[in-house]
Amino acid sequence: MHIVWISAGDGTERTTRAAWRDVSSIAWLPGGRGILINAREPEGAEHQIWELSYPDGDVQRVTHDTDDYWGRISLSNDGRMVVVAKRDSDSGIWATHNADASQAFRVTSDLNLYDGGVAWMPDGRLLYSAAARGPGEKMAYDLWLARSDGSQARRLLSDGVNLHPRPCPDGKTIVFHHSTPQKSAIWSMDLATGSTRQLTEGGNFPDCSAAGWVTYTIPGGASPGVWRVPLQGGETVRLTTERAFNPVISPDGTTVAYSYGSGFADFPIDGTRPPRKHAVMIESIRWAPDGRAVVALRGGKGTYNAWRLPLDDSPPLQLTHFQSGGINLTGWDWSRFGLAYVHTDDRYDLVMIRDKR
């Protein structure tokens, strides 16, 4: 990600040199001499405050700590004082075998970030992505495999950013999104040998079928939609043409469901009919174990609950009843073993930075 200057007069664009993993806020300095941004470096774990000069785009770091600054930057009129929120997060994986939030138990107990994805293995173990936090840590999400109580945790992969892992039905292979500052792709891993294979150029949110297909999404760009590639590698095939998120394969391997802007859709994995759309607002999607419905997250104001949404469009059924907190949108799974989910408790304090120069 780059900051781009756009002329209000003629619309010309000028891209600055510095690259960022993400930018959560931008504020102009008095006189238009530059901007302050709240951003993470490509391999940074925390958001820090940075100054970019205008028009050269030279970068100067304002904060030099391990705090995680979040949200909007507010500047005094003279630009010498900055007010911004500092975020402290307690993130962990939780599970419940009966969808009862009151009986959920915590699986992980350290201070890592667990918003990179979690999935049930066919044997009831948990596959998940976690990022270490601490002074000097770079943004790297590792893949882990553990028992459902968190014991016997084993690191599977620690190179780069590895997100949204999903197991194949035989439990011998997993697929995941792997990225570095230079590129991203869908990869597979043989759990017995640890060997990995790149399957695509780009893509996100993979899933795997017993027949040896891997589905994934390209959410934007020139070729958005759901795509398919053989698990052993080979030709990629575009299955849908609209912007799609989070495609998942049914338990019997015949159908793909995905979410889109105003609902969810399903279609045969062989592409023999176009997607059938369901106009139900959701945020993220999985399959119910019986294959006759999807389980999706619905809610708002930071609290999401799981709902069963039948494919025949009969009335939905609420499965969980979180009153606050709830389920992380990118870190949850539903299977015959129950619900596994990431819960993050964020606490915010306002911080004033005086005489930033």
CB 222 within 8 A of CB 208: no
Instruction: Tell whether 17 and 164 lie within a shared domain.
Output: no
H or E element that contains 312: none
CA–CA separation, 337 vs 333, rounded Å?
Answer: 10
Instruction: Tell whether 207 and 285 lie within a shared domain.
Output: yes
Stretch 158-167: mean pLDDT:
91
Beta-ladder partners of 69: 86
Looking at every residue in the chain, the average pLDDT score rounds to: 88
Which one-letter amino acid corresponds to residue 199?
A: L
End-to-end Cα, the chain, rounded Å: 26
pLDDT category, 264, cuts 50, 70, 90? very high
Phi, psi of 45 (to 5 degrees): -90, -30
What local confidence, expressed as pLDDT, does residue 133 receive? 59
Instruction: Tell whether 25 and 161 lie within a shared domain.
Output: no
CB 161 within 8 A of CB 172: no
Stretch 66-72: mean pLDDT:
83
Instruction: Tell whether 174 and 322 lie within a shared domain.
Output: yes
Q: Which of 40, 38, 35 is nearest to 22 (CA)?
A: 40
What local confidence, expressed as pLDDT, does residue 174 receive? 98
What local confidence, expressed as pLDDT, does residue 170 receive? 95
Instruction: Tell whether 342 and 233 lie within a shared domain.
Output: yes
What local confidence, expressed as pLDDT, does residue 163 receive? 93
pLDDT single digits (tens) 189-247: 999 999 999 999 999 999 999 999 999 999 777 789 999 999 999 999 999 998 899 99
Asked if residue 142 belongs to a domain, the reply is yes
What local confidence, expressed as pLDDT, does residue 289 receive? 94
Asked if residue 156 belongs to a domain, the reply is yes
Instruction: Tell whether the model's pLDDT for residue 134 goes beyond 70.
Output: no
Asked if residue 351 belongs to a domain, the reply is no
What local confidence, expressed as pLDDT, does residue 221 receive? 76
pLDDT single digits (tens) 39-52: 988 766 678 899 99
Instruction: Tell whether 269 and 288 lie within a shared domain.
Output: yes
pLDDT single digits (tens) 77-120: 888 889 999 877 777 898 988 777 778 888 987 656 767 899 99
3-state secondary structure 18-87: CCCCEEEEEEECHHHCEEEEEEECCCECCCEEEEEECCCCCEEECCCCCCEEEEEEEECCCCCEEEEEEE
Instruction: Tell whether 328 and 199 lie within a shared domain.
Output: yes
CA–CA separation, 120 vs 47, rounded Å?
Answer: 31
Asked if residue 29 belongs to a domain, the reply is yes
Asked if residue 193 belongs to a domain, the reply is yes
More confident residue, 348 or 152: 152
Q: Which of 341, 323, 272, 348 is nearest to 107 (CA)?
A: 341
CA–CA separation, 348 vs 297, rounded Å?
Answer: 25
Instruction: Tell whether the model's pLDDT for residue 21 goes beyond 90.
Output: no
- Which of residues 16, 48, 79 is at a domain's end? 79
For 174-212, letters b (16+ CB in 10 Å) and e give: bbbbbbeeeebbbbbbebeeeebeebbebbbbbbbbeee
CB 138 within 8 A of CB 45: yes
pLDDT single digits (tens) 274-306: 999 999 988 889 999 999 999 999 986 668 889
Asked if residue 332 belongs to a domain, the reply is yes
CA–CA separation, 267 vs 257, rounded Å?
Answer: 7
What local confidence, expressed as pLDDT, does residue 354 receive? 83
Instruction: Tell whether 74 and 93 lie within a shared domain.
Output: no
Query: Which two three-digit tokens encode residue 198?
Result: 């790149």
Instruction: Tell whether 27 and 157 lie within a shared domain.
Output: no
User: How many domains in the chain?
Assistant: 2
Asked if residue 211 belongs to a domain, the reply is yes
Instruction: Tell whether 142 and 110 lie within a shared domain.
Output: yes
- Which of residues 59, 79, 99 is at a domain's end? 79
- Which of residues 58, 79, 100 is at a domain's end? 79
Stretch 4-20: mean pLDDT:
89
Q: Residue 322: which domain range?
A: 89-346
Instruction: Tell whether 53 and 179 lie within a shared domain.
Output: no
Asked if residue 355 belongs to a domain, the reply is no
Instruction: Tell whether 203 and 289 lie within a shared domain.
Output: yes
Answering whether pTM is above 0.75, one says: yes
Instruction: Tell whether the model's pLDDT for residue 138 goes beyond 70.
Output: no
